[in-house]
A and B are shown apart, each in its own frame.
Chain A
């Protein structure tokens, strides 16, 4: 188990490093950070000064190593626009995105797991078909369009929910639904498939034959086994949501990392952009790492592989 953990950890670290290199290169190559940092109205002289002072005239590799060393200490530079350290800004904005992601995932799980279980219990019936229809519709609905529809219906026509800002937990309801809906089909399908497999397995048949009540059989044994792949998938989906929240955050004016990324892109705020890409990638890497660990812990066969 330990060897496996270390191996996965090593890979995770390497992935994080590669992502940071790619993000760094992409951003440095497509603009002049010296000009951006020097601000408008800066003369050629000023820009040169900034270039030397911050080492932008050095080869990319040197710049990257310097950035990496500082990053490992937690220093991600200073935001050109907000004039405050990037790490501060990220710390401020990250919780909103994390809350949004977790709420969206919760919504997806609350909707899809019961649906998947029901569909598996009554395959090829109207219940099954309804569940599959919800899944198929969920995959086809653009999340930003869905968000707008929710705003019109629940924010203005019915006036039930607030539509912008992050003042209270109510503010997160619509964004979570709009963001989480997209993950529903995958989780539902997986739950359904997993349940069906397990329900028809020998183990369950034996338990039933032993005379255990159907409900007990179902929820204690089947669900526990079927849930394993769902946990992994949920972790991955959460990772995607944290990275893909930009559209939802801008529509609902939630001040999370996605919104910050959008603003930074528009302002050519390199340091912030880079830090956000790295932060979001790290979330994903950590989540998949944890999912792998959980899987390996629950299902010993994986470790041996």
Chain B
């Protein structure tokens, strides 16, 4: 493979958030790889580790470092809080700074809920808007969400921020799709495949008053 071609393959992988190919680089290629890496590493808000990685590595370290088996240790509540905090930061973006807290998770694969500590109910749609039964995106201040009409009536609301890299999801008829890297979620907010190490989308508090659909926001 020509140097130019392999450097391009490296850059393409980098831009797709995949592990770049390895090869013996000459001095010129090395400069290109490293400048590409520095550029890609300078993205903001996407340089946080996933909650799954943080807790997975903790388990790996425990197996390696501790004589005591993990099963005999009390569950690490703080670990969940840290992990949840990162997931919430990635999922809620600015909303976290504005007083949304991530509720406790019974396990790290579970769906959290974003509840503003000082919230107000805001109308984001009417029932007529949801009459076609399809999910519908909304923005309400710092909250980017999606409304999911339920078969038996009622409406659920989910965060519409991808838990992979923080892009805004597109609402499709049967799924929520991330335009950035292709991660997708079902209409309950569960990740459809595990390739992206995504966590479930946090739920948002919602209610229907008369024909108004309201979401609790900060």
Chains A and B are bound partners: no
B residues bordering A, Cβ < 8 Å? none
